[in-house]
Copies of this chain bind each other. A is one copy, B any other.
Amino acid sequence: MSGEDAPAQQQNAVEQKQDTKPAEEPKAEPPKTESAEAAATPAATNEKAPEEETFIYRSLVLTGYGGYDKVKLQVKKGKPVLKAGEVMVRVKVCGLNFADLMARQGLYDRLPSPPVTPGMECSGVVEAVGEEVTDRKVGDKVMVLNRFGLWQEVAVVPAGHTFLIPEGMSFEEAAALSVNYITAYLMLFDFGNLRPNQSVLIHAAAGGVGIAATQLCKTVKDVTVFGTASASKHEAISQGGVTHAIDYRTRDYVEEVRKISPKGLDIVLDPLGGSDTHKAYNLLKPMGKLITYGAANMLAGQRKNLIAVAKNWYHQFSIHTLSLIQGNKSVCGFHLGYLDGEMELITQAMNTILDLYKQGKVKPRIDSTWHLEQVGDAMRKMQERNNIGKVILTTEPMPEEEKKEETKKEDKKEDKKKEDKKKDDKKKDDGKKEEKKDDKKKEEPKKEEKKEEKKEEEKKEEVNKEEK
């Protein structure tokens, strides 16, 4: 499959039957979906229609893999039927995550095939509870964590996937908290075992996980945080707790870290993958932990960039146990999306994070709030790394004047698409250039690796000789 565009009839479906898939298993009676435009005048059919007809809500649907325009706002009809243990949440705010961007390009296997509603975190109010739900009631303000299906006005999830919003926390903060802070928490304190006086490298320190990780580092005494971000974000991340801000666009971050911490680092959080994972490994001190949690390097341009993907595969880090033993090092992989089954662990982490929030030690930073109609622009801002903190969507209806603005923008969409195309093409070219540059750079770290492997090889040679 090309992974580019879904068939046209799917993209423009009106009254198309569709599974909402908000919870783990498909609903027995999926509500109907139609395009947002077609449902603009629901009052017309409102008179004595059954609840299936009157209960309508807007939903973002990934209609096929590709660019920003592949996520479309549609209207679903029909009240979802709750199974035992489930709750229905009237969604207020949704969080955007890097995995959502990967998913749109077909690079994230935890999202079912399109058409499907993405979204792994949101905040809202409980509107209905299913049988056997004892700890949630109608009216509870909750934050929600789910594998997908939360970018819509109404979401149905297992009650165990909701957490009560503490007093004083806004819906915006609540939607921005779960994925980033649980990810940062489990990486730093479960795999990383962070302790006083240690040093941590945080890539994309102005991103959602980056800001969460920085704040969590500061809850431990005398932790040195190295954070990478473009220069314009340095003031913000420094204020947020980063000890040494490094502009990865103009500096070699490995050199910068070595200047300050010649022995290396205790923990490196690596969302980049590819050759950056090798650099991270070489930066570790004895007893150091490398925690890799993504492959952001794969994401170049708004559509799947084959050069970037292939490059990431080519450079994918692979490690032998003997090298780990001789270096006294640890390599860990983390992704919250693959931790579905571990709600107990997640709940424990969440409770600790909420305690820290109440103590004023952590606080999500919101970069920008967008209407559901603007999801494309919201994704673009994140993917182009123009955000400082969390990008969120609100389900609040868009004011009429803004809508008019949007329509004007729509007219300009063709221009924008052309612009995007240009950008993408440029990125591809850059990718090729970068690759060449990278190959040269690689030689240096390779030398270091070779040093480490030399001993192994010497042993191998000895064995070989003896076998002869």
Chain A interface (Cβ within 8 Å of chain B)?
Answer: 1-3, 106-107, 109, 186, 190-191, 193, 273, 277, 286-287, 289, 292-295, 304, 306, 309-310, 313, 316-335, 338-339, 341-342, 345, 455, 459-460, 462-463, 466-467
Contacts and interface: CB of A to CB of B under 8 A. Distances in A.
| Closest 4 pairs between A and B when the two form their complex, measured CB to CB | A324-B333, A325-B333, A330-B332, A193-B193
14 contacts: A106-B462, A109-B455, A193-B193, A277-B321, A289-B332, A306-B467, A313-B460, A318-B318, A321-B333, A324-B331, A329-B332, A329-B333, A330-B332, A330-B333
**How many copies of this chain are found per oligomer?**
2
A327 B317 contact: no
A325 B335 contact: yes
Given A3-B466, A277-B321, 14 more contacts: A106-B462, A191-B287, A191-B289, A273-B321, A286-B339, A294-B325, A316-B322, A318-B320, A321-B331, A321-B333, A325-B333, A326-B333, A328-B333, A329-B332
A318 B186 CA distance: 24
Nearest to A464: B310
**Which of A331, A338, A460 gathers most chain B CB within 10 Å?**
A331
Given A109-B455, A459-B109, A345 B287 contact: yes
B292 A321 contact: yes
Nearest to A195: B190
Contacts of A335: 325-326, 328
Contact of A334 (B1, B306, B325, B333): B325
Contacts of A329: 332-333
A316 B325 contact: no
Contacts of A295: 322
Given A318-B319, A459-B109, A466-B306, A292 B324 contact: yes
Contacts of A106: 462
Contacts of A193: 190-191, 193
Nearest to A466: B306
A325 B306 contact: no
Contacts of A455: 109
A287 B326 contact: no
Given A306-B467, A459-B109, A463-B313, A338 B345 contact: no
Which among A1, A293, A322, A329 has the highest number of chain B CB atoms within 10 Å?
A: A322
Contacts of A462: 1, 3, 106
B286 A342 contact: yes
B323 A333 contact: yes
Nearest to A462: B3
B338 A328 contact: yes
A287 B109 contact: no
A265 to B, nearest CB: 14
Contacts of A287: 186, 190-191, 339, 342, 345
Contacts of A292: 321, 324-325
A306 B338 contact: no
B338 A332 contact: no
Contacts of A304: 466
Contacts of A338: 286, 325-328
A330 B463 contact: no
Contacts of A2: 466
Contacts of A109: 455, 459
A389 B10 CA distance: 68
Nearest to A291: B330
A324 B332 contact: yes
A193 to B, nearest CB: 5
Nearest to A277: B321
A292 B326 CA distance: 11
A229 B2 CA distance: 54
